[in-house]
Structure 1
Amino acid sequence: MEKAKGNLLLLLTALIWGSAFVAQSVGMEYIGPFTFSTVRNLIAIVALIPVVWVFGCSREKRSQLPLWQRLKPDPVTLKAGVLCGVWLGIASILQQVGMVMTTAGKAGFITALYIILVPVLGRFLGRPVRKILLLCVPMALTGFYLLCVKGGFTVSFGDFLIFLCAIFFAGQILTIDHFLLKGANSVKLAWVQFAVTFLISAVLTGLYERPVPDALWDARWALLYTGLLSSGVAYTLQIVGQKYTDPTTATLLMSLESVFAALSGWLFLGETMTAREVIGCVLVFVAVLLAQIPIKKGL
């Protein structure tokens, strides 16, 4: 039952994340990427306060502790939230800036490379790397080339930023796995994570952008969707879902984000891809699937 619950939560996570690429693209028509990231994370922090209040501690403790103590994370959760917030903060900024220069569908598929990067980076933490990755990594890189590299061996700067974003997302996933095994509180971890991400984004906003109230109002639906659902709900579902689901199944389900991103870009933004880009998308997604499906012991 718990495994099925985790699988459902991660499937919902992928659906929300994938469709959020559309909201991010729309939001960039009105405000800058740093401002967008700042506001969406502020919305997520506020939205999670009642969630932490209800689920952050046991029912017995809830009736005995004042509000601020119910929100207070333990040392392990605090450390986990800060580290995850740094990973996520940098990843979110890279993704948001990259979204200005690429399409929602392409961004979704490039971001999916984190599924390949998780086991590769995990090798540095002493985790074994299966032989199947010797096929998956070149396949994913070939897909990335077909998807992003234009004539003259050039890559769009936006595509490159999204690729860097995938690396930082992989770091965030590995950090979550590490600290959940140490007993971190999943809901409070998410809350601290957004607080750190908000601070990083707010500093960059203050340095490089000057938000205009009218523009923020014009971007309100995109901000509410990404703040409440993509950040507040989906990232929390990711952390809770990883708690109940084995890493292979978890990353496989989250990889469906790329499919939902492409479909959302097609349905709502009218985005199209060339035959070359479609082949690149297929190669990336097949590599993602192969990397997560256990074929035989030792592969």
Structure 2
Amino acid sequence: MSSSQARKADGLLVIVTLLAAISWIFSKEAVLLMPPLLFMAVRFLLAGSLLALAGRKQLMRLTPEQLFRGIRVGLVFGVAMSCWITGLFLTDNVGEGAFLTSLGVVFVPVIARIVFKEAQPLSTWLALPVAIAGLALLSLKNGFRPEPGQLFFVIAAAIFALYFTLNTHAANSRTYVLSDGTERHRERLPALALTAIALLTVGGVTLLASSFREPWHPTLSGFSAVLAGWVIASAVVGTAGRFLLQTYAQSLSTNSHGVVILVLEPVWVALFAAGWFGESMSATQLGGCSLIFGSLLINRWSSVRKLLRGR
């Protein structure tokens, strides 16, 4: 990869983290005006439809087995997003929620080890206690009684870790050896098609959940241009645009670049939340968030080291 491509990828990935952080602000504004699950349904159905339109040729070529794998990934993603948006709806501190959700990066290797028996480096197990210490500090203000919003963010992070693991396996081709000794090859799912299916499935899951739990009439009868703006911005900029740009940027970059830059998302969220909502954190909260951010870097230390050597 040329140095110009590397710089381009780095710049695009920084933009990706900014889009992801801005999406938190869009989403928080939207859930102040409409039920959270209904918002997620509209957001993801719109974003998924846009990507499905762009990737319709890929979707037409999918086998039933590939389609099933994509829907399975989307179902897990849908549960994770339902927990995340509930946490965002309940929280009074968006920046803190971003750091809690970022724990999914730390949980990914643990889930991969438990579910797929994948060996993990020492850095994974060193990062875990640091992350737990950060969680403890964030809950100290309640005497180790976490707020409901915090619990939903942590649950979402754990399910996001399962989603990331399943998504990685779905996006790559694999060869299995069956019990009778024969080999079975599983084709990879194209990134655009997989993302479109996952987003549409999230939209369907949250729409179904919303239909049972949330009143729609106040939102439909009082739908305003302001609310429409937040929903469209979240769907187009924070979801469809972000995922497409991230996929393109990662095709230009090495894994080390992508991983290190993308962990900056919670930092951007905290800064935007401070500027937009006037949020602030106590010394204890700042300490907890710092420990969580440190655990992200420890967990990805091999990537950090490669990046520093490259520089």
- What interval of TM-score do these two structures reach, taking the shorter chain for normalisation? 0.7 to 0.9
Select which of 17, 21, 25 maps to 1:22: 25
Residues 1:147 and 2:133 are matched in the alignment = no
CA contact (8 A) 2:105 2:161 kept: yes
Specify whether residues 282 and 181 from structure 1 end up closer, same or farther in structure 2 by C-alpha distance, changes over 3 A only. same
The residue aligned with 1:195 is: 200
CA distances 1:48-87 after superposition (whole Å, capped 9, x unpaired): 244214xx55xxxxxxxxxxxx645334542332122112
- 1:143/1:279 contact within 8 Å kept: yes
Q: 1:6 to 1:91 in 2, by over 3 A?
A: farther
Q: Partner residue of 2:47? A: 44
Distance 1:48 1:296 in 2: 35
Q: Distance in 2 between matches of 1:245 and 1:282?
A: 27
Of 98, 101, 119 in structure 2, the residue corresponding to residue 108 of structure 1 is 98
Counterpart residue identity of residue 120, structure 1 = V
Whether contact under 8 Å (2:45, 2:204) holds in the other structure is no
Give the equivalent residue in structure 2 for 1:281. Answer: 289
> How do 1:216-255 and structure 2 match up within 5 A?
216-217=223-224, 218-239=226-247, 249-255=257-263
Aligned to 2:179: none
In the aligned structure 1, how far is the partner of 2:62 from the partner of 2:11? Answer: 27
Which amino acid is 1:105 matched to?
G
Letter of the 1:178 partner, please give it.
H
1:266 alignment partner, one of 268, 271, 274: 274
| 1:205-237 deviation per Cα after TM superposition (whole angstroms, max 9, x unaligned) | 111112222444342222112111222122344
Distance 2:74 2:67 in 1: 10
Partner of 1:79: 68
- Give the counterpart letter for 2:87 in structure 1: G
1:188–1:173 CA distance, 2 compared to 1 (3 A): same
Please tell me whether the aligned partners of residues 48 and 240 of structure 2 are also in contact (alpha carbons under 8 angstroms). Answer: yes
Q: CA deviation at 1:245?
A: 5.4
When normalised by structure 1's length, the TM-score is 0.85
**May I ask how many residue pairs the two structures share in their alignment?**
283
- More displaced 10-residue stretch of structure 1: 219-228 or 282-291: 219-228
Q: Secondary structure at the match of 2:151?
A: helix
| 8 Å CA contact 1:34, 1:204 repeated in 2 | yes
Distance in structure 2 (CA, Å) of the matches to 1:175 and 1:126: 13
Structure 2 unmatched ranges of 5 or more: 174-187, 307-311
CA contact (8 A) 1:118 1:171 kept: yes
CA deviation vs aligned residue, 1:132-169 (integer Å, no higher than 9, x gap) = 23321111111122123423220001101011111111
RMSD of the TM alignment (CA)? 2.5
Asked whether the equivalents of residues 111 and 165 of structure 1 are also in contact (C-alpha less than 8 Å), the reply is: yes
Q: Percent identity between the aligned chains?
A: 22
